[in-house]
Amino acid sequence: MVRVVIAGVQGRMGQTIKRYAIEKGIDFDGFDINTEVSDNVETVDSFDFRDGDVIVDFSSIEGVLKNSKVAHQKKIPYLTGVTGLSEEHISHFKELSRDIPFFYDSNMSVGVHILSGLLKKLADEITDYDVEIIETHHTGKKDSPSGTAIKLFNALNKNSNFTIKYGRSGFEPKKKDEITFHSIRLGGVFGEHQIRFGNKFEEISLSHRAFSRDVFAKGAVDASIWLLTQKSGFYSMYDFLSN
C-alpha cells in the first residue's frame, strides 16, 4: 500500500489533506514542527522519512527548504504547494529534481489550471485592454499577492509585454503595459481570483472561486500518487493533467 507522508499535518491544508487521504483509503503518516508525538503525528526531528513513499508538504517556506533536502537525500518523491517561494527557491528545487521526482505548483486546483490555460490563449488578443488582477484570501494568509495570482500573471505575460504594479494610490494614471495586483484579506475566504480586461468600449472578466480547501487537497494527493510513477524531474499541475 502507498504511504503518503504529510508535512505540516496540523495546519489547515494538512488537516484537509489528512481527511481526504482517509476518505480515499490511502495510508498516511504526518509530522509537524514542535508538535508532540501522538495520533500518527511526530516531531520533524524524530520522523523517519523512509517510512513513506511520497512526501506532500504544505508546512511553511522554512519547512519546505528543510524537508525537500531530506527527501532528496533519501531519494523520496516530493510535492509541495507552499506559496511565497522566491525564484531562487524554485531554481534550487529544479536542482534537486535532477535526482528525484519533484512537484511544485502554487495552486493544486484543476479549475485554476484551466483558467491559466485560457489566459495563455488570450495573451495575444488583449493588447488593447487594460488588465487588473484581484485576489481574495483569508486573513491568515501571509504572502501577497498570492502564488496563484502570480501564476495567472505569468500566463498572461508569456510574451513579456507587461510590468507588475502592487496596489494603487496617489495620482499616477495607469500605464498601458501595467497589470495591477489587488490583494484582499477577508475572514475565512479559501481563495478567489478575478482577472478583469477593459477598454473604453467593453469589459471581459474571468474568475475562479474555491468553495473549500478540499479542491486543493484532492489535487495534491492525486498528483502525489501520480508522482510515484514518474522519473526524476520537475513537475507541475500542467504535467499531471496533461497525462
> Which positions are catalytic?
137, 141
Question: b/e map of 27-60 (b: 16 or more CB within 10 Å)?
Answer: ebbbbbbeeeeeeebbebeebebeebbbbbbbbb
Question: b/e map of 149-170 (b: 16 or more CB within 10 Å)?
Answer: bbbbbebbbeeeebeeeeeeee
What is the separation, in whole angstroms, between the first and last Cα of the chain? 23
Q: How far apart are CA 238 and CA 126, in angstroms?
A: 23
Strands 178-185, 41-43: pairing is unpaired
Q: How far apart are CA 180 and CA 36, in angstroms?
A: 44
What residues have CB less than 8 Å from 27, skipping those under 6 apart?
A: 1, 2, 3, 4, 21
